[in-house]
């Protein structure tokens, strides 16, 4: 019998009006003891090494790591009773390289660079995933077979890069004018051990939008010289857009600003900058773009004044397997599942391209829904970030050259010559393809 609102319940015949609370207290104490005992058993089992454990290395730290643990890791641990020993690092490539060299690599790794992963695959550090992952769930541009016919990775999340962000209250004409003023661009080249990659994104996207995916893919595969007219034009176009070698204060700001802080001036009054050429992930984590209701448009329209050619630069966090333990195999299957992909995408950390996951949720804002649909558009051509697809040595040199060029554009010839020389070094591993076929 339910209690009457605002008063005590009427006692049933033969019962006490105020029953003793001792049984409830006893139950509570026993439950607490059992919970503590269970926790102690779990700790003891882990300490004895009896609970299955899988080691996982990825680049999510801080708030991103907490979100990843809650959305993805903890549900896996509860479901399979497998402990995930997670390590997050902003210098993930360096950590993985050191671990591999020491002979103690993690079981599973999430890494952004397919070029780096292709090298590990060539060295037999990666294991094929065909029996664990259905390639059709992601498509050939994301779960890409290498020259040996095996698939070694799949995306846990994806992002779109051929876009420019702007505040919602900035109209089309104002955006067109701002695009030709270097001071209007929010630019930050800093990223710790990987500083310079925001500049490589500019150059890659300009090349893709101006010359199309055929030329882009030739270059990303090492078949088009850095000193070619097309590649050189991409560098000089970026120079003119952001004022490389121009206003010392502007250049200094770009070189010293971390990429995640580049858009902060967009909230100032008057605005310190108006446009940002940056991947889709920046809208999810950047309070600056949230504060000004950031929108986006295809980069081709602003960078080149041309209609979008339905070619998009994309990036992804790619999952690979280094040890085929039972626990690691279960984690791979789980991360490739629609449930895990949906859970991580729901955190707005990126987008899932899994065919079993709806492109966008019913509560997603219009800008996020549009980005998701573009990433899944089968009529469009999606080309993986070229520097991420290049061999690690070339990728790193490219990022360093972007920093040097921003400060000293007159050194372009020397920079391109050095990149050509490095790209022709024997023993480098180049991907067979970086673009999907489109329609």
Per-residue pLDDT tens for 206-217?
A: 999 999 999 999
Give per-residue pLDDT as tens, 329-349: 999 999 999 999 999 988 876
Given this model, what pLDDT does residue 419 score?
Answer: 98
Tell me how far apart the alpha carbons of residues 394 and 196 are, in angstroms, rounded to a whole number: 13
Tell me how far apart the alpha carbons of residues 296 and 19 are, in angstroms, rounded to a whole number: 64
Given this model, what pLDDT does residue 257 score?
Answer: 97
Per DSSP, 285 falls in state H
Given this model, what pLDDT does residue 365 score?
Answer: 87
Write down the CATH superfamily of domain 160-312+388-423: Periplasmic binding protein-like II (3.40.190.10)
Percent of the chain with pLDDT over 90: 76
Average pLDDT of the chain to the nearest whole number? 87
* Among 7, 141, 174, CA closest to 434: 141
- Give this prediction's pTM: 0.86
Task: Tally Cβ neighbours within 10 Å of residue 288.
Answer: 23
By residue count, the chain amounts to: 439
What are the sequence ranges of the domains in the chain? 51-159+315-383, 160-312+388-423
Question: Does 51-159+315-383 match 160-312+388-423 in CATH topology?
Answer: yes
Given this model, what pLDDT does residue 364 score?
Answer: 79
Copy the structure tokens of residue 340. 């895990």
SS3 209: helix
Angle at 187 between CA 182 and CA 188, to 5 degrees: 150
Q: Is residue 24's pLDDT more than 70? A: no
Task: Tally Cβ neighbours within 10 Å of residue 425.
Answer: 10
Given this model, what pLDDT does residue 393 score?
Answer: 97
Topology of domain 51-159+315-383, CATH: D-Maltodextrin-Binding Protein; domain 2 (3.40.190)
Given this model, what pLDDT does residue 11 score?
Answer: 33
Q: Is residue 42's pLDDT more than 80? A: no
């Amino acid at each position: 019998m339910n209690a009457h609102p605002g008063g005590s319940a009427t006692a049933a015949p033969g019962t006490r009006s105020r029953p003793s609370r001792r049984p409830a207290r006893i139950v509570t104490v026993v439950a607490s003891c059992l919970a503590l005992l269970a926790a102690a058993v779990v700790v003891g089992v882990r300490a004895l090494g009896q609970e299955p454990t899988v080691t996982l290395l990825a680049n999510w730290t801080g708030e991103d790591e907490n979100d990843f643990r809650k959305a993805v890791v903890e549900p896996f641990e509860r479901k399979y009773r497998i402990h995930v020993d997670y390590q997050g690092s902003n210098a993930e490539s360096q950590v993985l390289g050191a671990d591999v060299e020491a002979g103690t690599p993690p079981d599973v790794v999430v890494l952004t660079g397919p070029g780096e992963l292709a090298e590990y695959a060539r060295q037999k550090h990666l294991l094929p995933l065909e029996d664990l992952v259905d390639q059709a769930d992601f498509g050939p541009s994301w779960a890409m077979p290498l020259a040996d016919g095996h698939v070694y990775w799949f995306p846990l999340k994806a992002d779109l890069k051929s876009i420019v962000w702007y505040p919602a209250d900035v109209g089309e004409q104002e955006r067109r004018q701002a695009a030709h003023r270097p001071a209007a661009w929010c630019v930050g080249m800093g990223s710790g051990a990987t500083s310079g990659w925001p500049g490589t994104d500019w150059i890659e996207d300009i090349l893709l939008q101006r010359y199309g995916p055929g030329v882009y893919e030739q270059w990303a595969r090492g078949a088009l010289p850095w000193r070619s007219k097309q590649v050189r034009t991409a560098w000089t176009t970026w120079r003119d857009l952001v004022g490389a070698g121009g206003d010392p204060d502007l250049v200094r700001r770009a070189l010293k600003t971390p990429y995640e802080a580049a858009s902060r001036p967009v909230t100032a009054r008057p605005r310190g900058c108006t446009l940002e050429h940056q991947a889709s992930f920046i809208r999810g984590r950047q309070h600056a773009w949230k504060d000004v209701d950031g929108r986006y448009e295809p980069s081709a329209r602003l960078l080149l004044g041309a209609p979008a050619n339905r070619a998009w630069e994309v990036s992804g966090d790619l999952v690979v397997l280094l040890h085929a333990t039972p626990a690691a195999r279960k984690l791979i299957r789980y991360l490739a599942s629609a449930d895990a992909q949906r859970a991580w995408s729901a955190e707005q950390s990126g987008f899932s391209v899994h065919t079993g996951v709806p492109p966008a949720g019913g509560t997603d804002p219009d800008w996020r829904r549009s980005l998701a649909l573009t990433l899944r558009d089968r009529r469009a051509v999606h080309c993986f970030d070229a520097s991420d697809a290049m061999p690690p040595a070339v990728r790193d040199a490219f990022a360093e050259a972007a920093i040097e060029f921003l400060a000293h554009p007159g050194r372009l010839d020397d920079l391109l010559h050095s990149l050509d020389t490095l790209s022709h070094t024997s023993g480098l591993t180049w991907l067979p393809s970086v673009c999907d076929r489109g329609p």
